[in-house]
């Protein structure tokens, strides 16, 4: 870097850092004024306060860095213009593009930093805020039940801590192949040691059971180290995380698990259909409050996928083309019912939608199932699912209930070139977080009716934006 570049860069960085520090200071003053009473009432230590604000900074930087960049550019260029420095540089034979090159490179660096923060750290900010304030509440944070089916172990955790390897008041049940409890571990505190891949249980009680369920022995241990458990803190916490609060690497892990299960179940000879779906919210009948999906595998093809298969085949025979490929092409051309999209997927409100804010997730490339996704497409599937769930939450500023599921090609051994991978979202809410649409009366006995047009529904979802409403405050 020559003297000219250092001069431009130094002037810009000085203004840039002042803007960043100024904005963060303003945010900090407002946030501390809102939270200080909670900190004092709950006797939160200085270290915990620093930990809390450390989790919030990435989210704030994603918002503030572009604004600070713009203001710093305006300030530096304006000051250089008033001092006739730009005119002098141009007179000296230095082109305008050469003058702006260092600033352009710094803008690219800012974009990369924002992308990295939004990719990994920023999505956790609101969840960290919830868990932090719940962590010190009088009744404790929301509990967690985690079932490790592979190792036949069940965890009951009273208190979770965000980005911490410590859990309070736990009970771990070890079961045999018949789900009979063989051992129980109770501890006031459990701490994971990453370097040793071990759990340290404080004030632990170990109980052994016989096959009939009778207690055979009990042991009290001030400190017990367990080295053979496969669970990690992230794995235990992940069951409490919704898609809109997960980072892209974490969402990629979910997509990989779906692919793994689709392949494994599809290889079973008598299974001809694998349905991956999620019921979210009590309104949709979700019996477990924590986020989770389900996978059902059938010997026969269910009614809705069977009708889709017949339509795909008929269209291919008549048009020699893919039905949903052609449909997506038309939707992207019209751009009236498109909610959001990325390089590999698009979300549209289909013109035949029955539920007010029903949507359809379509792959842009013609593939038939999740196992045909490329590595990049798996990442982009997580991205598009986060975008649509954020928009749903933003619509009525609530944890939006829905039933969603993937429709993939049957696993009957045929290629099914006519099939196109897609996912349906069926949300029930109509006008607010508490008012839902009921499919009753004429709609149940005659024909469903639209409460809002597909174009209006798509526009409302589109305008809610990619930033979760809880992250805007």
The domain limits of the chain are 3-132, 141-230, 241-471
Which whole number is the average pLDDT over 192-221? 92
Token pair 């960049």 in the structure block, residue:
69
Q: Sorting pLDDT into bands at 50, 70 and 90, what band is 98?
A: confident
Structure tokens at 275: 């349905």
In this predicted structure, what is the pLDDT of residue 248? 79
How many CB atoms neighbour CB 91 within 10 A? 9
Which whole number is the average pLDDT over 350-358? 94
Is 273 tagged catalytic?
A: no
Do 127 and 241 touch, CB atoms closer than 8 A? yes
Which whole number is the average pLDDT over 109-121? 86
Which residues lie closer than 8 Å to 35 by C-beta, 6 or more apart? none
- CATH superfamily, region 241-471: HIT-like (3.30.428.10)
Instruction: Provide the whole-model pTM.
Output: 0.62
Q: Sorting pLDDT into bands at 50, 70 and 90, what band is 140?
A: very low
Catalytic residue (one of 292, 366, 424, 468): 292
Distances (CA, A) of 440 to 358, 444, 445, 446: 18, 5, 8, 10
Do 354 and 448 touch, CB atoms closer than 8 A? yes
CB-count exposure of residue 299 (10 Å: 0-12, 13-18, 19+): exposed
In this predicted structure, what is the pLDDT of residue 127? 67
Q: Sorting pLDDT into bands at 50, 70 and 90, what band is 128?
A: confident
Using alpha carbons, select from 414, 347, 429 the residue that is nearest to residue 381: 347
Structure tokens at 92: 């000296």
Using one digit for the tens of pLDDT, what is the confidence trace for 156-183? 888 766 567 888 889 999 999 888 899 9
Using one digit for the tens of pLDDT, what is the confidence trace for 358-413? 999 999 999 999 999 999 999 999 999 999 999 999 999 888 999 999 999 999 99
> What's the mean pLDDT when you consider all of the chain?
88
């Amino acid at each position: 870097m020559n003297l000219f570049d250092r001069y431009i860069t130094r002037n810009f960085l000085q203004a840039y850092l002042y803007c960043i520090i100024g904005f963060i200071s303003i945010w900090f003053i407002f946030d501390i004024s809102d939270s200080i009473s909670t900190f004092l009432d709950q006797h939160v230590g200085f270290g915990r306060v620093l930990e809390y604000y450390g989790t919030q900074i990435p989210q704030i930087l994603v918002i503030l860095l572009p604004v600070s960049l713009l203001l710093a550019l305006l300030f530096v260029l304006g000051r250089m213009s008033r001092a006739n420095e730009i005119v002098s540089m141009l007179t000296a034979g230095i082109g305008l593009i050469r003058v702006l090159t260092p600033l352009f490179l710094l803008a690219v660096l800012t974009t990369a930093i924002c992308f990295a923060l939004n990719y990994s750290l920023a999505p956790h900010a609101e969840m960290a805020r919830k868990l932090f304030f719940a962590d010190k509440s009088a009744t404790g944070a929301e509990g967690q039940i985690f079932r490790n089916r592979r190792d036949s172990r069940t965890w009951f955790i009273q208190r979770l801590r965000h980005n911490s390897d410590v859990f309070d008041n736990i009970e771990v049940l070890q079961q045999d192949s018949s789900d009979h409890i063989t051992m129980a571990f109770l501890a006031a505190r459990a701490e994971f040691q990453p370097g040793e891949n071990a759990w340290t249980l404080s004030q632990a009680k170990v109980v052994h059971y016989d096959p009939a369920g009778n207690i055979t022995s009990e042991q009290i241990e001030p400190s017990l180290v367990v080295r053979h458990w496969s669970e990690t803190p992230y794995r235990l916490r992940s069951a409490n995380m919704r898609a809109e609060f997960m980072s892209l690497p974490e969402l990629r892990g979910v997509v990989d698990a779906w692919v793994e299960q689709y392949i494994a179940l599809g290889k079973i000879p008598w299974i001809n259909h694998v349905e991956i779906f999620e019921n979210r919210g009590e309104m949709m009948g979700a019996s477990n409050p924590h986020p989770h999906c389900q996978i059902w595998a059938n010997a026969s093809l269910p009614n809705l996928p069977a009708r889709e298969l017949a339509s795909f085949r008929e269209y291919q025979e008549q048009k020699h083309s893919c039905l949903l490929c052609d449909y997506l092409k038309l939707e992207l051309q019209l751009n009236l019912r498109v909610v959001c999209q990325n390089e590999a997927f698009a979300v549209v409100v289909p013109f035949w939608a029955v539920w007010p804010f029903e949507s359809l997730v379509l792959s842009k490339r013609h593939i038939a199932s999740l196992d045909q996704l490329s590595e990049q497409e798996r990442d982009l599937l997580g991205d598009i699912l986060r975008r649509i769930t954020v928009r749903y939450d933003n619509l009525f500023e609530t944890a939006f209930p829905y039933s969603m599921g993937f429709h993939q090609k049957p696993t009957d051994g045929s290629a099914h070139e006519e099939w196109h991978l897609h996912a349906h979202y069926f949300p029930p809410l109509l006008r607010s977080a508490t008012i839902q649409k009921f499919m009753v009366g004429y709609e149940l006995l005659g024909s469903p009716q639209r409460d809002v047009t597909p174009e209006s529904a798509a526009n409302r979802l589109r305008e809610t934006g990619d930033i979760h409403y809880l992250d805007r405050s």
